[in-house]
Structure 1
Amino acid sequence: MKKSFTFSIIALVLVLFSCGEKKTSSQASSTEPFIESGAIWLDTDGNQINAHGGGIMYHEGTYYWYGEYKGDSTYWNPKVPNWECYRTEAGGVSCYSSTDLTNWKFEGVVLKPDLENEDSELHPSNVLERPKVIYNDQTKKFVLWLHVDSHNYGKAAAGVAVCDTPNGNFEYLGSMRPNEAMSRDMTLFKDDDGKAYHVYSSEENRTLYISLLTDDYLKPTGTFTRNFVDKSREAPAVFKKDGKYYILSSGCTAWDPNQAEYAVADSMLGEWTVMGDPCSGKDAHITFYGQSTHVLPIAGKDGAYMAMFDKWNKTDLIDSRYIWLPIEFKADNKIDIAWQDKWQVSQVF
C-alpha cells in the first residue's frame, strides 16, 4: 500500500511537471515577436530600421543585414526627365545584427559617405544602392558589392569594398563597369563550392548578366552570361535548393510595383527556365506592393528560405518598409510566396 502510494505521488508530479512544460512552451511562442510586413520596424534602440534594398549574410551564429542608409529628405531630380527620379542623399551602407531575425541591433554605417569630396563616388549627391556582402573563406575578408551611380544614373557601375569584420568600417576599393557593361540593380551569390557570382541588370536594364568573380571576389573573371535578353528584369535575388538555382526578379516600372517572376536552372551559368509569378494572396499580382531584394536561407533549417522585398515609398524614401515572407517549395521546382499579415519564424521554420 505504501509502495503504491509513492508511485501515485511520483506519477502526479510527472503529470504536473509535463503540464508546466507545455504551458512554458506555449508562453514562449506567444511572446515571440511577429514579422509584420509593411509595418514600421524598430531596432533594439527604438529607432526605425534604415536598411533599404539590402541583403542578409549569416556568419558564425549571427545574421547581418546590410542596406541603403537613406537621408531623411526625399526630392525629385529634374535632370532625369524620362522617369520619376525620386531620391535622397546617399548615406552609405548600414548594418544591423540579429540572432533571431526579429530583434535587430544597429551596428552603424559600415560604408560611410564621403561628405567632403564632391568628386568622390561616395559623396551624398551620388547614388549608392543594393548593397550585398559575402564572406571569402580564402582571404578571410568580408566583400561588399553595390550599385554605384551618378545623380542622373548615367554612370551605371558596380562598387567594391572590403573589411576584416562583418560590422567594421569597409574600405572602398572603387567601381567598374563589369565585363565592360552597365551595372545597376544587383546581388551577389556564393555557391557551395566557394565560387561567387555578381548578378546585375545591364544594357539599360534590358538584360540580366550573371558574372563569375575571381577567387578573391573583387573582380569579374570575364566569364559571364546574358540572360532574359530584352525582358527588362531587375532587383535580382538568387538562391539554391536541392541542386537547383533560382532567380527572383521584378519588372522595370521605376518606383511603382509590378508582377514578380522567377526562373530555375541547373547551374548559375546555364539555361534558365522562366516559371512565372511565385506570389499568391492579397495583391500578389503587384508583389504585395513590394520589389525583390534578397532570399535568405534560414541557418540550421533544411529547406527553409525567406523572401525579402522592399515596399518603396517614392515620395518619402526613408519611410520605405520591408516585406519578409517564407517560401514554400512544391513539386516540379515550383515555389509559392504567400501573403501573411504577420508570422513567427519558429512557427513557420
Structure 2
Amino acid sequence: MNHKGKCLFRFAIFLFALLYTATGMAQQRKSILPRELWPDDKGNHIQAHGGGITKVKDTYYWYGEERRQGLDSNYRYVSCYSSKDLMNWKFRGDVFKMTDPDSLGKKWVLERPKVYHNIKTRKYIMYMHIDGQVKGQKGNYSYARVGVAIGDSPTGPFNFIRTFRPLGQESRDIGQFIDDDGSAYLIFEDRPVKGFHIAKLSEDYLDVEKDICIIKAPLEGGAVVKYNGLYYAIGSALTSWNPNPNKYATAKSLAGPWSEFEDIAPPETNTYGSQSTFMLKVVGTKSTAVIFVADKWKPRTQWDSRYLWMPLEIGDGKLRLPEPKPWRINVKTGETAFIK
C-alpha cells in the first residue's frame, strides 16, 4: 500500500471510530419514557415482560418473559438485562429455558419470573409461574404451580429443579418481596380462595415454608413494598389481558390486618392501560423512590408489549400513580424528576 493509500485507510478508520462513538453516545438514555419502545444496548426492544428486578451490589438485573419473534415454540425462555442507572440496559442473554415439564400441551406457559439472591448460600433462585392444561381438568390454567431454578451467577445459567404447589395451594401470578431484615417472601395468587398469599421462603429459598397472610381480594399481579415502616400491597383485577383499575392496601404487619383496597389511579384510566408487576424501592443518599413497574400487554403481538415505569407518590398510608410522562432517576441519591 502506497503512502496515499495508507492515509485514506487511516482516515476511514478514524471516520468509523467517530461514527461508532457518536452512535454509542446517542444510545445513552437520560430518561425513562413510559409505554414507549425501550431499546437495550443492541438497539432491540427489551423483552422482560412480567418480570422482576434484583440488585446485586451496584448493578440491577431485570428478568422477564422473553417474547421476541422467532423463538423455538418447544421452549419457554427467561431473559436478563443489567443496568447501573435503571435507564440504560445491557442484554445478558436468555438465562433460562425449559421444555414442557409435565405434558401440558402446546399452550403451556412460563410467566412472571422472579430471582432472589441468597446471600448465605451465594445462590440465585428463580421462581416462576408454570401453567397449562391438565388431562381430565377444564381450562388451560389448571396446572397452577410454581417452578424453581437455581444458578451460581445473576446472569445464569439457571438449572431447573422442580415444580410444586406452594403449601399445597394453587398458584398463578407470583411476586417477590424482601423485607428489611432480609427475609424473603413469595406472593402468589390462589384462585379458589379468591385472594393472594404472602408466604415466607425457607432459609435456602428453595421452598415455601410458612403462610404469613392471605389477602382476601380477587386480585393478581400482586406486589408488596415497605415504606417508612408501613407495608403497601397492590394488585390487578382478574380481567385476563385487559387492563383494569389496579388497587392498593396497607398494613403495619405483613400478617395484617390490611386496609380496604383503593384505586392507585383514576379508575377510568384503567391504570393507564397497564397491569402491576413489581414495586422497586431505590434507597439513595437524599431520598427513597418507589417505582411502579408494570406491563402494557399486547396479546396479539406480545413481542411489542411495552412497560409503564413511574415513580409512585407514596407515604402516610397513601399511594398514587401519576399520569405517565418522561422522567429520570438518580440511583445514587434516590431522587426522581419529571422532564418538561
TM-score, normalising length: structure 1: 0.80
58, 82, 88: which is aligned to 1:97? 82
Verify the 8 A CA contact 1:198 1:213 in the aligned structure 2.
yes
Kept after mapping to 2: 8 A contact 1:290/1:310: yes
2:66 aligned with 1:69: yes
Corresponding position: 1:40 with 2:22:
no
Instruction: Give ranges in structure 2 of 5+ residues lacking alignment.
Output: 1-27, 134-139
Report the Cα distance in structure 1 between the residues aligned to 2:244 and 2:175, rounded to whole angstroms. Answer: 19
Quick one: structure 1 residues 284 and 67, their matched pair in 2 at CA, closer, same or farther if it must change by over 3 Å? Answer: farther
In structure 1, what is the equivalent of residue 182 of structure 2? 194
Once the two structures are TM-superposed, the CA of residue 126 in structure 1 deviates from its matched residue by 2.1
Structure 1 counterpart of 2:237, from 251, 255, 263: 251
Post-superposition offset of 1:214: 0.8
Distance 1:278 1:319, change over 3 A: same
Q: Structure 1 residues 63, 145: CA separation in 2 closer, same or farther (over 3 Å shift)?
A: same
SS at match of 2:300: coil
Residue 13 of structure 1 aligns with which residue?
none
Matched, 1:172 2:168: no
Counterparts of 1:233-312 in structure 2 under 5 Å?
233-280=219-266, 285-300=269-284, 302-312=287-297
Deviation, 1:237, is 1.3
Report sequence identity in percent: 38
SS at match of 1:269: coil
2:322 corresponds to? 338
Cα distance in 2 for partners of 1:66, 1:123 equals 25
Q: Deviations over 1:256-302 (max 9, x none)?
A: 0100100111121221112411225xx76300000000011124254
Give a deviation string over 1:71-112, Cα, whole Å, max 9, x none.
5279xxxxxxxxxxxxx8753111000001111100011111
- Between 196-205 and 55-64, the greater mean CA deviation after superposition: 196-205
Give, in angstroms, the shift of residue 32 of structure 1: 5.4
Residue 142 of structure 2: which of 121, 135, 154 is its match? 154
Are the structure 2 counterparts of residues 333 and 119 from structure 1 closer, same or farther at C-alpha, using a change threshold of 3 Å? Answer: closer
Q: What SS does the corresponding residue of 2:91 show, helix, strand or coil?
A: strand
Specify the alignment match of 1:108 in structure 2.
93
How far off its partner does 1:318 sit? 1.3
Local SS of the residue matching 2:44: coil
CA distance in 2, matches of 1:343, 1:320: 20
Per-residue CA deviation, residues 44-78 of structure 1 (Å, 9 max, x unaligned), is: 0111111100011111100100000125279xxxx
Q: How much has 1:123 moved relative to structure 2?
A: 8.9
Cα distance per residue 1:289-343 (max 9 Å; x no partner): 000000111242542111111000111111110000001124x310221013211
Structure 2 letter corresponding to 1:198? L
2:137 pairs with 1:140 = no
| CA spacing shift, 1:145–1:278, aligned 2, 3 Å | same
Q: Indicate the SS of the match to 1:160.
A: strand
Q: In the aligned structure 1, how far is the partner of 2:64 from the partner of 2:106?
A: 15
Q: Does 1:314 align with 2:311?
A: no
**Does the Cα contact within 8 Å between 2:197 and 2:211 map onto a contact in 1?**
no
Shift of 1:204: 4.3
- SS of alignment partner, residue 52 of structure 2: strand
Letter in 2 for 1:178: P
Supply the AA of the counterpart residue of 1:147.
H
Distance in structure 2 (CA, Å) of the matches to 1:232 and 1:249: 9
User: Alpha-carbon deviation of 1:142?
Assistant: 1.2
Corresponding residue for 2:5? none
What secondary structure is seen at the aligned counterpart in 2 of 1:199?
strand
- After TM superposition, give the deviation of residue 213 of structure 1 in Å: 1.2
Report the counterpart of residue 52 of structure 1 in structure 2. 49
3-state SS of 1:287 partner: helix
Q: Secondary structure at the match of 1:179?
A: helix
Determine if contact 1:122/1:128 at 8 Å carries over to the other structure.
no
CA contact (8 A) 2:213 2:254 kept: no
**Aligned residue type for 1:149:** D
Unpaired runs of 5+ in structure 1?
Answer: 1-30, 75-87
Which one of the candidate residues 109, 120, 127 is aligned to 2:109? 127
Shift of 1:175: 0.8
Structure having greater relative contact order (Cα 8 Å, sep ≥ 6):
1
